[in-house]
Amino acid sequence: MSTYWCEHAVLPGGARRHVRVVTDRGRIVEVIAESAIEPGDVVLHGLVLPGLANAHSHAFHRALRGRTHGEEGNFWTWRDGMYALADHLDPDSYRRLATAVFAEMVLAGYTAVGEFHYLHHGPSGRPYDDPNAMGAALVEAAAAAGIRLTLLDTVYLAGGLTGSGHLPLDEVQQRFSDGSAEAWIERVSGLRPGLGWRVGAAVHSVRAVPCDDLALVGDTARREQWPLHAHLSEQPGENLACEAFYGRTPARVLADEGLLGGTTSLVHATHLTDDDVALLGGAGSCAVFCPTTERDLADGIGPARALAEAGARLAVGSDQHAVVDPFEEVRGVEMHERLASLERGRFSPSDLLAIATLDGYHSLGWPDGGILASNHVADLVAVRTDSPRTAGCALDQVLYAATSADVTDVVVGGEHVVSGGQHRLGDVGRLLAESISAVRR
């Protein structure tokens, strides 16, 4: 049992002062406001938030940060560099890299991550002796870094989509594929979730999974009670190809195959029609926005406000990790809306907090997270309120001003993983530099 005494904490009814959070076996058992410090309490200064969820991550993309800006291009040219990087990874190097990346996330304030995992096999698609060796590397990395993990094991069957149909897998993409949806199910059945991590399903995209295979994936996710994620309409080219071949938008294809619902999350959801927005909202699905990636790759600005008004949930992710900062991501949802609408206050402070916490956890299959209340997971993030960025802020508007540099303490499952701005693994910058240099040969 551990007890954390918070100078201020955000509870379901708003910010309160002098809050004691009592935890036992990784869960919150009692929350008491206006409470005095007691012997043995761990003191957390500043403002304590519920755990912050990173609902969309590709851990190995972190090795591309600061290396893709020398020439003009777009998402597709960036992808060439990403594929070249993937060719250098094996279970050992992936574990080391992912450990450092996940540690960077925790240091920034993320307490849960959805790893959209499609790098399954060895070169030319040859399975490792353990067909889930790459997934196991991610599980080990998350445990070492102290972050809650949903392993979103991804179906990837085709090399792309044109108006004439799906393309065969290229040499690099062979590593991503099990060959069929049935083979994916067989491999994923070998995963045994444990303490601190869960399994989810993912459809890479309608580009990479033919329509005839989608229903089987959706049925499996429902039967196993897994969250289901998919990239959706990140690029206009995806929409054009889908409409030319299937006569429908990607969102309509997913809806027609039964993949939309309350446990489904659509990543990016940038280039949607009004009908697409109504489909996602009517199904109560979640749209996962990744603002720092979407602007880095010149993807565009998605219709966040319209989706929320239609009934969709919203969450955020750091995707390719050009930036690892939960405050920048959630703030980006509001700021992009301001640019698109020429209006401020498109989302309230409480809306943004829910996007970063409660709805992000829900997207990842942790409905008992993202809130400081009894019978929920004991994930807490302490943020300075006296830094050059946050000094003078109203407590309910810290999300608009703070950055990852203001995070001092992070508790995940009751464990004090970051204390005084230091991760338990030590120098995270050194871990990143060493692990990235090993795969950038």
* 380-383 vs 407-412, strand pairing mode: antiparallel
Closest among 352, 306, 312, 299 to 330, alpha carbons compared: 352
Residue 396 annotated among the catalytic residues of the structure: no
H/E segment holding residue 416: strand 415-419
Residues 6+ apart with CB under 8 A from 71: 77
Query: Residue 342: exposed, middle, or buried by beta-carbon count in 10 A (0-12, 13-18, 19+)?
Result: exposed
Residue 200 is inside which H or E element, if any? strand 197-203
Q: Of 319, 325, 351, 409, which residue is the catalytic one?
A: 319
Chain position carrying tokens 């942790």: 366
Cβ-contact 383, 406 below 8 angstroms: yes
Nearest in space to 152 (alpha carbons), one of 61, 52, 263:
263
Angle at 354 between CA 348 and CA 355, to 5 degrees: 90
Decide if 280 contacts 266 (C-beta within 8 A): yes
Contact 49, 383 (CB under 8 A): yes
Q: If DSSP codes are grouped into helix, strand and coil, which group holds residue 168?
A: coil
**Structure token pair of residue 423:** 């991760």
The answer to whether 121 is a known catalytic residue is no
Neighbours of 126 (CB within 10 A): 9
Residue type at 353 in one-letter notation: L
C-alpha to C-alpha distance for 169 and 430, rounded to whole angstroms = 36
At residue 15, the 3 state secondary structure works out as: strand
Q: What does the alpha-carbon distance between residue 256 and residue 218 come to, in Å, rounded to a whole number?
A: 11
Pairwise CA distance, residues 421 & 63, whole Å: 23
Which of these is catalytic: 204, 268, 321, 336? 268
Residues forming beta bridges with residue 116, ordered by sequence position: 152
Give one DSSP letter per residue of 80-123, joined into a string: HHHHHHHTT--HHHHHHHHHHHHHHHHHHTEEEEEEEE---SSG
Which positions are annotated as active-site residues? 268, 319
